[in-house]
Amino acid sequence: MVNRNNDEILNNGPKAPALWGWTTYLSIAIAILILAGASTMVDLKQIWGEITACDKRFVLLGAVAHYATYIVRGMRWRRCLIHLPITAGNSKFGLLVFFYNFVDNLVPAKLGDVYAAHLARINFKIRRSAALGSIVFLRMIDAWIILVLASLASWILFSASLPWTVIWSLIGGGIIAVGASTIMLMFILFNRKLPGWVPEKVQRMIMAFHTGMWPRPKEILPIVVLTVIIWALETTWIYSLTLAFELHIVFAEVVFLTMIPLLASAFPFTPSGAGVVEITLFSCLRVVGISTSIAGSLTVVNRFIDYWLHIGLGVLTWAIRRIIGLRTWRDMPLEDLPKEDLTDISADRKICHGN
């Protein structure tokens, strides 16, 4: 029998993750202040001149390589969840990866990952915990790859003395990699033997998380191959930008410029590390010997395509969501929700508000 709280929630419709609030607005304000301060350190007129003179063909090639990663990431995510009853294809998964990363560009503390689990539930009809388990698994893989490659490239380039900006980025990356691994380890241990006092619903969530966390053994090789493709494309993206500005850098420098700023993107107090990523990328370019004007110009182009263009395309995706079949909480009929979700919605109210 549905209790009073469930009745109220079912009448009002399901709720989406609480993404917007004073913390989000504060994080955006912090990012704006950081960017405003950084803009005073460069000659904006000179930067604009460098941008207009760069080879746009390589910029376009880099942009295509970067946005192609969302398609491949979608294919990889689907491989992680293929053991669950999902009928959606690679294109739908790629669309969700693109969209939740757009959300991540607007909110702090990687809340876009939480929203990704909600999108998976209403688009693929799988439990939120299972989707989140697969996301943590993929985050762990990527975190270790970025950390290892960033460390190797940094050691090759600066074995004598690592710059402090690089050291702090590596420390942050290490925390993320170890943190994701620890979460997985905890759920493995909890799944083996849960204390009797743990509520039944929490036990179901842990079991669902564990189910989503581990793909089928035969999917490991395809996931590895897709992961290699993703990071090859991301490296191509940065290398193409350097070619656009007629820079000639070695492979270790390309890896360094690709991986270190990605570590900064996990900075939790601004959306996708906005402001911090720009300063980190600019600093990395200066560390490898790039002039101030070129470093500033490349950073602006990089962030325009990676961050601001993504936000613009995300807004467009939201506007045409019904045409392309992207379901959000507002578009999801209650009768289409998995049955177990109807009994779990009341617990969601503590962390959610309307979308």
Could you report the per-residue pLDDT of 258-315, keeping only the tens digit for each?
999 998 888 778 888 888 899 999 999 999 999 999 999 999 999 999 999 999 999 9
Q: Could you tell me if residue 154 is inside a domain?
A: yes
Q: Could you tell me if residue 82 is inside a domain?
A: yes
Model confidence at 335, pLDDT cuts 50, 70, 90, reads: very low
Q: What is the number of domains present in the chain?
A: 1
Q: Could you tell me if residue 26 is inside a domain?
A: yes
Model confidence at 345, pLDDT cuts 50, 70, 90, reads: very low
The alpha carbon dihedral of 149, 65, 119, 105 has a sign of positive
**Residues 337, 14 contacting (CB under 8 angstroms):** yes
* pLDDT for res 331: 58
Q: Could you tell me if residue 41 is inside a domain?
A: yes
Q: Could you tell me if residue 165 is inside a domain?
A: yes
Mean pLDDT score, 93-105: 94
Convert the pLDDT of each residue in 158-209 to its tens digit. 876 777 878 888 888 888 888 888 888 877 776 656 666 667 777 777 778 8
Residue 234 has pLDDT above 90, yes or no: yes
Q: 353 — phi, psi (to 5°)?
A: -145, 175
Mean pLDDT score, 52-67: 96
Residue 9 has pLDDT above 80, yes or no: no
For the chain, the helix, strand and coil percentages under 3-state DSSP, each to the nearest 5: 75, 0, 25
Residue type, 236: T
What is the reported pTM?
0.84
Give me the domain span that covers residue 176.
20-341
Q: Could you tell me if residue 327 is inside a domain?
A: yes
Q: Could you tell me if residue 210 is inside a domain?
A: yes
* pLDDT for res 176: 85
CA angle 150, 234, 163 (to 5 degrees): 25
Q: Could you tell me if residue 12 is inside a domain?
A: no
Residue 5 has pLDDT above 50, yes or no: no
Residue 14 has pLDDT above 70, yes or no: no
